[in-house]
Structure 1
Amino acid sequence: MAETALPSGAAARPVPAGAMAARLLSLVAVHAVLVAGAVFMLLPFVWMLITSVKPPAEIFTAQISLWPKNFYGVENYTFALSQAPLLRFALNGLILCFGILAVQLLVAIPCAYALAKLNFPGRNVVFVLVLLGLCIPVQVPAMPLYIALAELGLLNTYFSMMAPFFLSVFAIFLLRQFFRSFPDDIIHAARLDGVSEFEIVWRIVTPSAWPAIAAFSVFSAVAHWNDLYWPLIVISDAKMAPPPLGMMFFADAETGSNYGALTAAATVLTAPLVIAFLIARRRFIDGVTMTGVK
């Protein structure tokens, strides 16, 4: 009697117990490493939040407690908000980040499109020069830029804090890699329909690059919100200070050894950046993972 063939997938091969144990062990190990990394990254923020609600007497005690015995958050945050213009520091940071980002995108998007989709003599040489620009730190042109701004009387202005960062080599590189994956047939069809290159860039290509733009926006906002080096050089007026420089003025002038109020101020100035990242996290992950994929 001929055997009846079982349909495909009717009988599954049993998985060896050793393979299942090895797979489970690898998953546990990977997740343990990820959890340890998350704890390591979040611990400073947790400690900042805890310290901001502790009274001065409990901050430097020998005992470590995650929650204060006497809640002192109202006093610390009230002192921080009343003794220094923290909201003005945060507003300066928002103006600085949005101003820099807007000009960076206006410059980087056409440049990246040209390097990705236009054929012109020396395109590869220009791209190499763009990559070499990534190797130049901001400290190199700091002195001539400071002298030029001082001669023009532009110190202690928003423009003086923004000007060195209007051209972002990293934005050009990131968007160029993303634009390379955009279909050439769509661009050719638009040209045949009489669409100008300007319209192709801003109405056709750019809307498809929102993941890359969002990813770069997060990088740019974090970098310039936390930048202390250049504002420390060109800003001496506390009213114009961005968050990191404002924290220095606040710590020197107001708090002294009041670390509860100091961490409360740091929490207030860190919150906008954390909220912005949580809002844009999905686009940020898409932009990082999709850039360069063809």
Structure 2
Amino acid sequence: MNDMMQTRAARRWIDWAIIATMVVMAIGMLLPFLWLFSMSFRPVSDAYKLPPSFLPPNFDLTNYRQVLASRVPFLEIYLNSVMIAVIVTVGQMVTCTLAAFAFARLHFRGRHTLFFILLIGLMFPAQVTILPIYLGYARLGLLDKPIGLALMYLTSSFGIFLVRQFMLSQPKALEEAALMDGAGYFKIFWRISLPQLRPALSALGIITFTQTWNYYFQAKVLLSSNESLTLPVAMDVLRGYMASGNLSVVMAAMSMSILPVVVLFLLAQKFVIEGITMSGIKN
């Protein structure tokens, strides 16, 4: 009995130690965001003040007004980022789900070889493929157009892999019964498989939206005019040459730019964790 009580006490202390460690790590990760929001409410003269004060002396919205009144059309750029992120997210959720169903449930010749070739695409960074994309877009007249950036990523190897792994963890009994009753593959996908994919689709959606929202290199190469930029490139423009711009104004713009991603993650974090966890389980 004493040994059991000692074991429970030891486990309790280990649990508390883990919790304390996680709290410290969480605070460390949140501090940059809190500092970002704090800097957005203070004048630039306080940006380099020593010793620094964590809380602003007053919550002044001047920096936010300067962002909206700057030479960069911030609201139009904001809409560009929203449009691109939504189109890419919806596109990947459709194409990746259909492709994952084919790889997970359909049996056709060369399936495993084709899937292996698909995964090889994960090894190549964007810098490798940007040149042929740029030349192709130049011929099609899609340069300096936000829709061109969205068309690049309507599907992804990672998305197909994530959803396929999740589907492999789901039972096949209902799908096989429906197939024996004469249902077609599309009907099986729409009525049986798709309703089970909510965690995987939530994970894919938040990952895709966040990744697309933060695209910098691709937007920097394909977009040039201020009206067609996305938020990451707009932050660079606001920062100015050799970081000569108003730091507090840049912080205010960044605060507004990260809000959609933060809100989306807070709403879907449960499904993201579940989807990523389940995608590694197989029958």
TM-score (norm 1): 0.89
- The 5-angstrom pairing of residues 91-102 of structure 1 reads 91-102=79-90
2:249 is matched with 261
1:141 is matched with 129
Aligned match for 2:69, one of 71, 74, 82: 82
Q: CA RMSD in A?
A: 1.9
Report deviation, 1:136: 1.6
Aligned match for 1:125, one of 101, 113, 117: 113
AA at the equivalent of 1:204: I
Distance 2:184 2:12 in 1: 57
Residue identity over aligned pairs, in percent, reads 31
Establish whether residue 235 from structure 1 lines up as the match of residue 232 from structure 2: no
2:265 is matched with 277
1:157 is matched with 145
Report deviation, 1:230: 0.3
Report deviation, 1:265: 0.8
SS of corresponding position for 2:27: helix
Determine if contact 2:104/2:167 at 8 Å carries over to the other structure: yes
Report deviation, 1:175: 0.7
Aligned length: 280
Summarize the Cα distance change of 1:80–1:235 in structure 2 as closer, same or farther, 3 Å threshold.
Answer: same
Distance 1:16 1:167 in 2: 54
Distance 2:174 2:11 in 1: 45
Runs of 4+ more than 4 Å apart: 14-18
AA at the equivalent of 1:137: P
Report deviation, 1:21: 4.6
Determine if contact 1:180/1:292 at 8 Å carries over to the other structure: no
- Structure 2 unmatched ranges of 5 or more: none
Determine if contact 2:169/2:278 at 8 Å carries over to the other structure: no
Distance 1:242 1:187 in 2: 43
Cα-to-partner distance string for 1:11-49 (whole Å, 9 max, x where unaligned): xx3556643553343123212221222122111101101
Summarize the Cα distance change of 1:151–1:92 in structure 2 as closer, same or farther, 3 Å threshold.
Answer: same
Cα-to-partner distance string for 1:151-180 (whole Å, 9 max, x where unaligned): 111111123212321220001101111111
Establish whether residue 178 from structure 1 lines up as the match of residue 140 from structure 2: no
- The 5-angstrom pairing of residues 1-294 of structure 1 reads 13-14=1-2, 18-69=6-57, 71=58, 73-83=60-70, 84-252=72-240, 256-293=244-281, 294=283
- Structure 1 unmatched ranges of 5 or more: 1-12
AA at the equivalent of 1:78: R
Larger Rg: 1
